Amino acid sequence: MATVSHVRGMLLEEVLLHLLNGTGYRTVEAAGTDPTLTQGSAGLEVKGRGGKHQIDAIADFQVQHPFSHKQRVLVEAKCFSPRTQVGIEIARNAVGVLKDVNEYWVAGAASSIAKSRYHYQYALFSATPYTVQAQRYAFAHDIYLIPVKNSTYLTSTVNSIRAISSRDFGVTRAGTIPIRLSQMRRLVREGLRSRTVPPSLDYTESLIVKLANMFQQVLAINYALLAVLGGDFPVFLVPKTVTTIEHLPSVVNVRIRWVATNWYLDDLNDQRLFSFDLPPELFELYAEAGELSRERALNLKQEHLRSFYAFRTIGNEVRVIRFQLDMPWIYAIRERRQNASPNDAARG
């Protein structure tokens, strides 16, 4: 049994896992011979020092870092109604899980060295804002908050998920839904991989139609990139089209646009490449009273968005892509602002 909120969160998690496959991550499908995982009755479980934790959205990074255990990310996604924020209780749960699994490892035989150990990271995606308390707590405990609300090219996908309601499961009132979430997750994952809507006699016609719409939206994107700003803040780059990401060179010179509350990466011909949303803790470093002035936006671009990297996976090949801010463009904007009349300056 599940709620429609659980279903929406699961669907967003599977969308994100599918998109992350293009940025160096590979979805963990089953426990297999991995001694740190087990297959529970309700889905995949990760072993911790104090117990097991059911987490079905798991991905391994395919690039091995020196002086580090293999990188594994635990993905949690929240797709609440637009006015519902992600609270501190969700961040607290993430912290507890992360601490427990990072303190577990499998000892080898007396004559061997234990190798089955992972460096876990926790990414908490959300289609709605995080409370201030959740942000502070997560940032203090290395939980990565990755918002997607203001990423324009992901909006249609998020809206298609939000369109799914209890009525699509034959339930007229809000409450539990008679469905096995793990089974639905498996069908959705297989469908995204094969690019077909998952068929099931248990689904209503309205649910099949809405899932088909979601599939259409996400497969039109198909890949995304995960970059790190200023060495600390992960950002999810959603391409405008599939071809955007497939033809990127190793070095991409970009201009960064802030339009209302939405961020974009443009090429030097001012053609849109990606949309993204800023991590809230980074936004707050430059915001004043919850707003970002144009001057502060310029400072943010220069200090944190000047140069950053992302990985791109094509088959078994992993490439590094460097995004480099067009600094002459930034300097020209500053010069225009300095030379503007007071009235022009007031208008930004």
Task: Please identify, among 204, 221, 238, the residue that sits at the C-terminal boundary of a domain.
Answer: 221
Q: pLDDT at position 73, please?
A: 96
Query: For strand 251-259 and strand 43-47, is the pairing parallel, antiparallel, or unpaired?
Result: unpaired
The confidence score (pLDDT) of residue 313 equals: 83
309 and 240, same structural domain?
A: yes
CATH of the domain at 72: 3.40.1350.10
Q: What are phi and psi of 84, to 5 degrees?
A: -100, 120
Pair (22, 121) in one structural domain:
yes
In the chain, how many domains are there? 2
Co-location of 249 and 213 in the same domain: no
| Domain closes at, from 221, 253, 274 | 221
Same domain, 58 and 200: yes
Q: What is the pLDDT of residues 67-112, one digit of tens each?
A: 788 899 999 999 999 999 999 999 999 999 999 999 987 765 555 5
Do 213 and 256 belong together in one domain?
no
Give the residue ranges of the chain where pLDDT is below 50: 341-348
At residue 189, the pLDDT reads 94
Position of tokens 């020196």?
66
Query: If residue 322 lies in a helix (H) or strand (E), which one and from where to where?
Result: strand 317-325
Q: How many H-runs (helices) and E-runs (strands) does the chain carry?
A: 11, 15
Among 184, 203, 221, give the residue marking a domain's end: 221
The predicted pLDDT at position 340 comes to: 59
41 and 158 in a single domain? The answer is yes
State the pLDDT at residue 343. Answer: 43
pLDDT tens, residue by residue, 103-155: 987 765 555 555 568 899 999 999 999 999 999 999 999 999 999 999 999 99
User: Which 8-state DSSP code applies to residue 83?
Assistant: T
Residues 114 and 240 in one domain: no
Containing domain of residue 338, as a range? 225-347
Q: How far apart are CA 246 and CA 15, in angstroms?
A: 19
Spatial separation of the C-alpha atoms in residues 201 and 208, rounded to whole Å: 10
Per-residue pLDDT, 348: 36
Please state the pTM of the whole predicted model. Answer: 0.89
